[in-house]
A and B are shown apart, each in its own frame.
Chain A
């Protein structure tokens, strides 16, 4: 749990840290409203720079409207976790950069935070730890009541021995942070189920939508990517493209471009809706809202990351995280002391609460 809190802290600012530690080729600022480059040309430019690689996903950068990212892997069946991200200029279609991020500080923190370099089992293990964390918070609320019977809210007995002071800090910060820790903890747990939810969607709704294509293989020549996106935008008006999954990837069937669109309000921009475009004919096959379990996942992500309310919210997220670390630290200390000394501690606390003078000073 401590590991999760500590590795999570730098991840709140992963953009800023990457900016600071690594030089980055930025897309030029271009007046909003400038039309995008033709995506087929943009894709060809990217692949020319990455020989032997095949595209898995094309992603419109959420934080930089002037950049488009292309995720490439050695083959279409390769695990996308090891993909490289190629950054392209959205308006000119020019190649910008494809940095190797795997040695980066933020990447290592992310791996430690999400799966401890152990793939899905690691993820589910950390999810289980997250659940224990939520249980610990709830049990903390339960024991808060008896320990506060005689104390006012916010009591901090500054003159008492360290164990009493730390108990007060633990109680005070713990009870104030309950809502935040439970929300961040539980949304983190939900995030660990992402791979499983995706699998269920693939074999459920996606399989249903592409039933008549089931036995086909990936077409030899693909229809135009650019027109596929245009068909999708036309089919689902009023939405913005988020990313395209190429045929044969985990987010699509073998015969479709899956164009994922998002809404334009802060809330609906978190929810994606796929439009499946036949990769041979370029025609729309189907478009449906995603099932509730995928929507839940999408909504839970910002609540875990704290990246949805500008820099002040990120800073608050960091402060709340540090306070959580303090609650965990004091909690471990209290538990160890209690275990070592047994009932003696309870006795001490009771005595020092009653006595006017502190027994020891430190």
Chain B
């Protein structure tokens, strides 16, 4: 019998990314300087994760 994931297991990681994105979207609005930096980091996270997961498997595929 294959293990089926619960909703919590499916959505835990996306929710964390979502919450961080929201923090980033608001941070640059609230202040300048390091607030902007927080926003750059948190909004870069989903982008980097996309590339990470796709490229990781691509590389594995070549081996």
Q: Which residues of chain A have a CB within 8 Å of any CB of chain B?
A: 144-145, 148-150, 153-159, 169, 172-173, 175-180, 183, 265-267, 270, 299, 302-303, 308-310, 312-313, 316, 319-320, 323
Contact = CB atoms under 8 A, between A and B. Distances in A.
B29 A313 contact: no
Nearest to B7: A145
Interface residues of B, number: 39
Interface string B31-63: 110011001100110110110111011101100
A317 to B, nearest CB: 8
A157 B29 contact: no
A154 B53 contact: yes
Contact of A308 (B11, B13, B18, B28): B28
Contact of A266 (B7, B29, B40, B43): B29
Give the dominant DSSP class at B's interface: helix
A177 B14 CA distance: 9
B43 A172 contact: no
A313 B7 contact: no
Given A173-B50, A309-B36, A156 B57 contact: yes
B25 A183 contact: yes
Contacts, number: 99
Nearest to A156: B57
A316 B49 contact: no
Q: Which 9 A-B pairs have the closest CB atoms?
A: A309-B28, A176-B46, A179-B21, A154-B53, A158-B57, A158-B61, A179-B18, A156-B57, A153-B13
Nearest to A326: B50
Contacts of A177: 46
A153 B36 contact: no
Nearest to A155: B53
Contacts of B12: 153
22 contacts: A144-B10, A145-B7, A145-B10, A148-B5, A156-B53, A156-B54, A158-B57, A158-B60, A158-B61, A176-B49, A179-B18, A179-B21, A267-B31, A309-B36, A309-B39, A309-B40, A312-B40, A313-B28, A313-B43, A316-B43, A316-B47, A320-B47
B58 to A, nearest CB: 6
A151 to B, nearest CB: 8
Contacts of A169: 54
B14 A153 contact: yes
A193 B4 CA distance: 44
Contact of B40 (A145, A155, A265, A313): A313
Contacts of B58: 158
A309 B24 CA distance: 10
A177 B49 CA distance: 10
Contacts of A175: 14
Nearest to B31: A266
